[in-house]
């Protein structure tokens, strides 16, 4: 009797467990698999209809961008740095934008003074200008700090752009704009000196200008002496001692120059009208570059301060230049129009550009670069690593060439309804971060320019 009672109570309980555990689980699993298949089908179907194969040599395939370029004033491309093909894509895309849409302003993550010398090279073709930017510090055993000026592909990019620029009419000629930090002190000092007229400045600002000029001349003499030491036939130990002494003198002179710039900064605040009259057309550039230099308490010269950022520089330049469209290729972190949850570096350049109060608010287009089977070199490291900015599984099977452009903001796009490719914030979708993604395949890492005795380009 007891056994019958136990069975009577136990059997229904087991049946309930079976029903609760197995039946719903099976339905949920089937539903989940079905939804995943449906999502993949929708994405693949959409991407098949909204992509174009890019030929970087003929600059074809970029017409997929046309409607969005017409509606936007700033086009930003986000790269994974240190990948060789970045520069081929950059040149091809910029040439297309220039030819088809009249984009002539090229934004660069370099210093304002460095951009001046790049523009001088583009106009004159004097390659010594280019070599001074890329090889200036090599003779003293220094690198250029993990910047664009480290890479041969970057050097070659300017040579190719110079050749293209020569084919353009004056109204389409390229103008390079540096909104990044100054990685080479000599470009700052040389540019300031070039902006200063030969004629005597007004009495109220004369002593400040003279002090700066004198200190720069003294430093030039010290550097010439350093060159003589390096070329000397003296014993190595004697040369080493002289180099140490000479380096200390140059360092001290740098501090003196830094303090002289600091005094000009304060004097410029007090007498802007006198500087504007004295400098004429060079006033904006002088004011911009002088106030783009941060001097520490010891007089050391730095190229940026905490209050100086790419967005504030862009705004100043934007209001000083004739109206036009801009293109820039930067690190991906600078191109996100919102910052994804999986991105540690909170550089919000694109989001500031597209945000409230910006002169180009609502008119900024972001294009992300993704990579398959590609290598990159990180800053100051010799070994290449995989370039991995996004999971490209949903892209690579559709792509039929080494460079493929995908439009994510088209009609009925799943990327405008859900977050794929990025770890998004609540209620945000892929297109809240970027509108296009460009897949680059089979790229080698960049080459370091300082390893080459003679810099050669195509």
Reported pTM: 0.87
Whats the size of the chain, residue-wise? Answer: 458
pLDDT in tens, 201-221: 999 999 999 999 999 999 999
Contact 369, 389 (CB under 8 A): yes
Q: What is the pLDDT of residue 340?
A: 82
Q: What is the pLDDT of residue 16?
A: 47
Low-confidence ranges of the chain (pLDDT < 50): 1-8, 16-23, 25-26, 29, 32-34, 137-143, 305-308, 453, 457-458
Q: What is the pLDDT of residue 345?
A: 63
Q: Is the dihedral of CA 317, 322, 325, 327 positive or negative?
A: negative
pLDDT in tens, 79-89: 999 999 999 99
DSSP letter (8 states) at residue 325: -
User: Hunting for tokens 């081929």 — which residue is that?
Assistant: 88
C-alpha to C-alpha distance for 45 and 272, rounded to whole angstroms:
61
State the first-to-last Cα distance of the chain, in angstroms, to the nearest integer.
97
Of 104, 92, 98, which Cα lies nearest the Cα of 326?
Answer: 104
Q: What is the pLDDT of residue 379?
A: 58
pLDDT in tens, 4-19: 444 445 555 555 444 4
Over 111-126, what HEC string results? CHHHHHHHHHHHHHCC
Of 136, 145, 141, 153, which Cα lies nearest the Cα of 187?
Answer: 136
Q: What is the pLDDT of residue 199?
A: 94
Q: What is the pLDDT of residue 147?
A: 79
Q: Is the dihedral of CA 311, 314, 316, 318 positive or negative?
A: negative
Over 24-89, what HEC string results? HHHHHHHHHHHHHHHHHHHHHHHHHHCEEECECCCCECHHHHHHHHHHCCEEEEEECCCECHHHHH
Q: What is the pLDDT of residue 454?
A: 55
């Amino acid at each position: 009797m007891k056994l019958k009672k136990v069975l009577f109570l136990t059997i229904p309980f087991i049946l309930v467990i079976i029903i609760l555990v197995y039946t719903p689980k099976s339905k949920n699993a089937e539903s989940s698999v079905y939804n995943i298949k449906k999502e993949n089908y929708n994405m693949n179907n959409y991407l098949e209809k909204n992509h174009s194969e890019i030929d970087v040599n003929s600059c074809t395939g970029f017409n997929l961008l046309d409607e969005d370029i017409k509606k936007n004033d700033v086009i930003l491309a986000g790269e994974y740095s240190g990948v060789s093909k970045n520069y081929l894509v950059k040149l091809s895309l910029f040439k297309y934008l220039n030819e088809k849409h009249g984009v002539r302003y090229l934004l660069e993550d370099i210093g304002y003074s460095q951009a001046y010398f790049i523009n001088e090279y583009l106009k004159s073709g004097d390659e010594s200008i280019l070599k001074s930017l890329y090889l200036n510090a090599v003779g003293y055993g220094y690198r250029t700090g993990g910047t664009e000026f480290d890479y041969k592909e970057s050097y070659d990019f300017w040579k190719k752009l110079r050749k293209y620029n020569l084919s353009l009419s004056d109204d389409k000629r390229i103008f390079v704009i540096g909104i990044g930090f100054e990685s080479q002190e000599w470009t700052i000092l040389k540019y300031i000196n070039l902006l200063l007229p030969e004629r005597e400045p007004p009495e109220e600002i004369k002593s400040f200008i003279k002090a700066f000029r004198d200190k720069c001349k003294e430093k030039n003499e010290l550097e010439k002496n350093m060159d003589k030491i390096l070329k000397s036939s003296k014993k190595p130990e004697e040369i080493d001692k002289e180099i140490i002494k000479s380096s200390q003198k140059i360092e001290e002179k740098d501090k003196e120059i830094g303090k002289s710039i600091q005094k000009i900064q304060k004097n410029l605040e007090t007498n802007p009208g006198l500087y504007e009259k004295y400098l004429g057309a060079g006033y904006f550039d002088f004011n911009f570059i002088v106030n783009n230099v941060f001097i520490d308490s010891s007089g050391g010269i730095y190229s940026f301060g905490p209050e100086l950022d790419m967005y504030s520089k862009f705004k100043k330049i934007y209001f000083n230049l004739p109206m036009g469209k801009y293109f820039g290729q930067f690190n991906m972190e600078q191109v996100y129009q919102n910052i994804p949850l999986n991105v540690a570096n909170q550089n919000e350049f694109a989001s500031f550009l597209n945000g409230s109060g910006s002169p180009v608010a609502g008119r900024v287009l972001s294009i992300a670069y993704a990579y398959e089977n590609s290598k990159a070199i990180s800053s100051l490291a010799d070994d290449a690593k995989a370039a991995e900015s996004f999971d490209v599984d949903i892209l690579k099977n559709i792509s039929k060439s080494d460079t493929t452009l995908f439009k994510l903001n088209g009609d009925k796009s799943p990327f405008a309804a859900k977050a794929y490719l990025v770890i998004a914030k609540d209620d945000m979708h892929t297109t809240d971060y970027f509108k296009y993604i460009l897949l680059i395949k089979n790229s080698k890492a960049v080459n370091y320019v300082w390893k080459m005795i003679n810099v050669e380009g195509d």
